[in-house]
Each structure stands twice: as structure tokens, then as C-alpha cells.
Amino acid sequence: MSLEKQEYEYLEKKIGRKPTKTELNIVAAEWSEHCSYKSSKKHLKTLPMKGPRVISEKGFDSGVLDVGDDYIVTVHIESHNHPSAVEPYGGAATGVGGVIRDIISAGTRPIAILDGLRFGNIEKDPHARWLFKNAVTGIADYGNCIGIPTVGGEVEFDDCYSNYALVDVASIGFGKKDRLIKNTAQKGDLVVLLGGSTGRDGIGGSQFASDSLESENRSAVQIPDPFIEKLIIEAVLEARNQKCIKAVKDLGGGGLSCAISETADSLSIGIELDVDSVHTREPGMSPDEIMISESQERMLIITDKTKLETLQDICKKFHVQCSVIGTVKDNKMMHVKKEKNTLALLPANVVANAPLLDRPTKKPAYLKEIQNEKKLKQSSNLSLVLLKLLSSPNLASKRWVYGQYDHEVGIRTVIKPGYDAAVLRLDNGKFLAVKIDGNPKHCYIDPRHGAIGCFEEACRNVVCTGAKPIGMVDHLQFGNPEDPEIFWTFIEALKGLADFAKHFDIPCVGGKVSFYNETPKGPIKPTPVIGVLGLIDKKPLHTSASKGDVLILVGKTKNELGGSEYFEYIHGFVGGTCPKVDFKESKENMDAVLALFKKDLIKGAHDCSKGGLAVAVSELCMQNNVGCKVSLEKIPREKLSHDLLLFSESHSRYLLVAQKQNLVQIQKILSQSNVSYDVIGSFEGDQIQFKTDSANIIDLSVDKVQKRWLRSLEDLVLHG
């Protein structure tokens, strides 16, 4: 609970005296890396955060985008990495709860959850399997209990996450623009704590998440209660409707310390509170414990005196506890009392704004070696290679995961998990496509281009549903920022994301930075996770393929297999040239696919990503129970051997399914769009075949591949 020496001196200078013990605890929580972003805040300003659809208000915990017809969507992304590594069920579940409350704090109803999960090698490590199983169960139980569908996400396994877990959770909200809560407050307003009781769980959680994980500090892990969360959602939205809420904030990292100081600072007010007024779960809690507890399912609400009784009646109706814990002042101070005794009296702007750091950077030494590519021997049987890839943990079907989630509750889910992106029905007749993506293998080899690739892949995924990207959120996860080599990878990744966002006019509307993702074995690979939202004005594209349809590939396949599943899983080789996004080519390909969608000329679209072209074609065949014959000579490409051509993970590529009668029109539009493309195959029979003029390079039955693809992950998790 301590500050760095220079931080203590800075605080002492700012307040002109020695801080009290309670003040030190409050400031230590708020100035932790997890809450203050003191290492990253300066650099995050390079991301474009404005746009014609972006709505900004004081104190919002989620991004807000205008989707037309006086409707808005909200989005936020969070993580619960350290807690999930210690107690995966509770850690993952409370991650869901926290991001849901960020959505309702804007006055919108949560309509969807997405999760990004990363663990160690589950083929060899029983502990990784235990973490994985329990994290999935925690997310499923929490989301299912509160009735919000988990509609998508991603799952990945890598040795760098050994004895650790990355649990990213994103949430989407929806509502009317005129019901957004625009945070305001005046002197004399009342500060209300609503929701679960404050207990000793999660004490010091923000500091726990701001250091390397070296011990299992279970007291820092919060306890989930989804039933209270569901009641809070309904109570807050009804209180919004009855205009009982002037301002609202979720109690997340840092608990009351951060919620009070950040609310006061953002609204330029003072807040005086009495810790004895806080409803607690356990007897004898000290004031310091109350201020820094991170007990879940709690919201801070500012209301005026005339609306207090109505708010209390709403809480009584939904069986939600609420306590008036303080009042709004006009002195811009955070004043914590216990009855008449002052425990802390600090300027809110000092507490809420930690001194920012200029971290040194240094290009990692390992990059000199890792980008040199070895000459790898081509496998003689590429059919077996493809079968092995499709049954590997990273590429096998994730049905076992999303099968535990209720992804249809709420009746908005149009495209369910298992496809390129989830699609949700909006009340204005439009549709929202959402996807999160990450690729630590690429980012380890080339942080800048790896991060750009994650961003572009998420865009490709939503484009495959017919959506135009309108906004993004990012979650930037790295090791210890005090290490110049690790901080260099963070800066490079951020530069890449900013460049791509600016070029494509996709504003960043929210995000999270998570440092200190390390264990005694070392840091994780750089793991930026990007969420993209896309808007569809007409019925979305739900990919289908039937016998007689043709397969078109848009985009060029290049010799860039660094970080590919083929290099790492098949050959055990880490290194090489990471795929790079050509911005001009990416934009042209994206626009061409959307143009075909608008003219109803294609039956489906699927992006090429992990595993390359061979895996992407196989996925289309397995999802539609139909065979496909692909001619390798037709693939737009650089000169490549068969294995590199089939398993390269080059970006900006789309597989399009079309009926033959539309082919002439499609070719005309693609030619006018100046994109690389060709008709590479047709759907027929029950075999997945990749051929040259003289031979079959891959020949597998759809049925055989499908069984392995669907069952491999489930068998591994359940039976080891």
C-alpha cells in the first residue's frame, strides 16, 4: 500500500503536509498503474478519439457511438488477469460484472458480452487446463445469470502464459440518445452507494494488479454475485427513467477511493463522505479497508434531495441496498470522515491525477535474432499437416467454450459465435457487428505490424458480415513497463494502432492498458487485443456455401509466415517475417467486399487469418458440410512453395462465396476496384482438395476433418 519515494514527496509538496495513513492508502490505490495509467497516459493521446459518431461526456466509463435515429451504442473492454490467474472462476466472473457496470453507468442497457481468453499450453500443462475450464465456467455462469448473451470472443494458448491467464471482457450497450446520463452535480446533492455490501474481498486489488504476479494473494480477488448485478441493472435503468440520477460511476479498481476522487475531479466538485454510512458485509472493518475494498456489484450515484426518496423506493422495489454516504461540496476536495473525525482531506484533482512518468525505451535485443528466418523442410504430406493444424488447440473449434454461453437471450443475436463476427439486431432496423482479435505471436516478432494486423483482422471480421467499421476499443497488455525493452514494444504497438485508426478514420472510443503481466518465468508476449464495431444498414451477410457455388479469393498471399501457426505448431520455429498490412491494399479490398455486399452479389465472406488459406477454406467447408476443390495456380500470390502458400497468414485477404450467375458482375466490380483476386475453386463433392494441374496436394474428407476439428479441444479439456 505504499507509494514510491518520489511519489510520496510529490504528494507531500502538493498538500503542504505529511499525509495521514488513510490518505496514503487512498492515493496508493488511485496512483497504482492499474488505475492511474501513469506510464501510458501521455502516449494514449496519439490515438484518434473523435469522429462524427463519437459522443463524449464528462466521466463516462464507456465509449459512446451514435448509430442513427436517436439511438446509441456503448462499448467498453476490461481485464481481470491477475485475479483470474489466482482464482479463475471468481476472477473471470467479476471481470464480466465490472465491464457490465461500465455500460450501465452511461445509462444504457447491456446487450452483449465478448471474451478474449489466453492460457498456457493445455496439451502439456494440467494447470493451464484447470485455469481455462474454470475461467470459462465463471464467465458462463455470470453472463447466463444476468441474462446477457456472450456472443463472441477468442481463445488462444501459448507457453508465455504458463501459470497465468489473460481474461479480457468487452461489453456492448444500447439505448436512446436522450436517455444518456450526462454527469453533473451541484452543491448540496447527495452521494449514494448502491448495490452489494462492502467487504474485505478485493482489498488492494489495484496494487495487486500493478505488480508482477509472484504469489497467490486471494484476499485481492473479488467475490462475484451475478444476482445482485441483475437487480442493479434494472434499478439503475429505472432510476434513469425517473430522472433520479445526476451522475453515476461504477466502483471498480481502487473501490471508493477511485470512484469518489475521479467523480469529484471530472465534475469539478468536492465530495464529503462518512465511512460509517457505508453498508458493510463484515463487522469491524477499518475506514482504510472500506475505502480501498474492491467488493463487486456497487455503483456510486449522485442525486438531489428531491429525488432521494424515489431512488430509495426503486432500490427497495428491486431489493438493492442503498446508503447515503455523503454530500456534494463546492470546494473540489475529497473529504473522508468517520462521524466528526477527519481521516482524509485532499484536493480531488491531486488524488485523481497521478504524476505521469516518462519511461525509457530500448529496442529488444531478441528481435535481431528472431526475425532471421530458417530454411524449413517442407512436409511431404500436407494433408496430415492440415489435419494436425485444424485439431490444434488454437485452431480447433471453440464450440466447447461458446456452447456453455447463452448467446441468444435477449433475442438480438442474429449471427452467433463460431463465425467471423457476431451480429446484433438494433431497434432502428440496423445491425451491429462486433469482434475482438489479438495475435501475440505476430506482436512478439514485430510489435508495430503485429498490432496493426490485430486491428485489421478485427475489421476484416466485421466486414465479412457486411458491416462498415465505425469504432474500436483496445486493450494493451504487456509485461513490466519499468523494463525499457518491454516499454518499447508497448510504444511500437500503440504507434501502429494510431496509424491504422487515423488512416481508416476509425476512432478509439475506449480501452485499457494492463502492465505487469509477468510471472517468475518472465513476461508475456505483447498482447494487444482490439475490438471493432461495425454498422450494417441492411440484412447482414450470414455466410453459406452450397454445391455449385464458386470460391473467390480477394488479396495477395505473401511470403510472411513469421509467427504463423504453421511455423510454431508444426515446426516449433519462433521467428521469421511477420505479416504486414499494406494500408492502400487493405482499404481497396475492404471497400470492394462491401461494394459486393451492397449489391447482393455474394452469399458469404470469410477472412484468411490464423492457419492461412488452407484453414480458412476448410472452415467454410466444415461449417457448410460441403467439399471444395481449390486450384493452387489460381491463388494471387508471390512465388511460394506449396506449404507456404497454403499456410501463410498474410492480411487483407477475403474468401468470397458466390453463385456462378453473379460471377461476371463480381469480376467487373473487383477489376474496377483495382484489387488482386481470382476464382480459385468451386464447392462440390465431400472432399477438401487443394490441387495443382498435375497432382492433389491436400485431399481430406469433410466428415473426417470436421470430427477432429469439433472434438479436439473438448476432448483435450475434459480428458487431458
Set of cell numbers at residue 529 = 487485443
The catalytic position among 43, 80, 335, 442 is 80
> C-alpha distances in angstroms, 678 versus 545, 594, 666?
18, 17, 11
Instruction: Please tell me the distance from the alpha carbon of residue 319 to that of residue 606, in angstroms, as a whole number.
Output: 47
Provide DSSP, 71-127: EEEEEEEEE-HHHHHHSHHHHHHHHHHHHHHHHHTTT-EEEEEEEEEEES-TTT-HH
Q: Are 425 and 431 in contact (CB under 8 A)?
A: yes
The cell 485431399 sits on which residue?
699
Beta strands in 290-442 (DSSP E): 298-303, 322-329, 333-338, 341-347, 413-415, 422-425, 431-438
The catalytic position among 34, 335, 475, 651 is 34
Instruction: Please tell me the distance from the alpha carbon of residue 703 to that of residue 707, in angstroms, as a whole number.
Output: 6
For 626, phi and psi rounded to 5 degrees?
A: -145, 145
Q: Is 80 a catalytic residue?
A: yes
Q: For residue 477, give the 3-state DSSP assignment.
A: strand
| CA neighbor of 80 nearest in space, from 91, 89, 69, 72 | 91
Q: Is 475 a catalytic residue?
A: no
Q: Are 292 and 254 in contact (CB under 8 A)?
A: yes
**Torsion, Cα of 410, 413, 416, 417 (10° steps):** -60
370 Cβ partners below 8 Å, 6+ apart? 444, 445, 574, 575
Neighbours of 37 (CB within 10 A): 18
What letter does residue 374 receive in the DSSP assignment? P
Q: Are 7 and 354 in contact (CB under 8 A)?
A: yes
**Residues with active-site annotation:** 34, 80
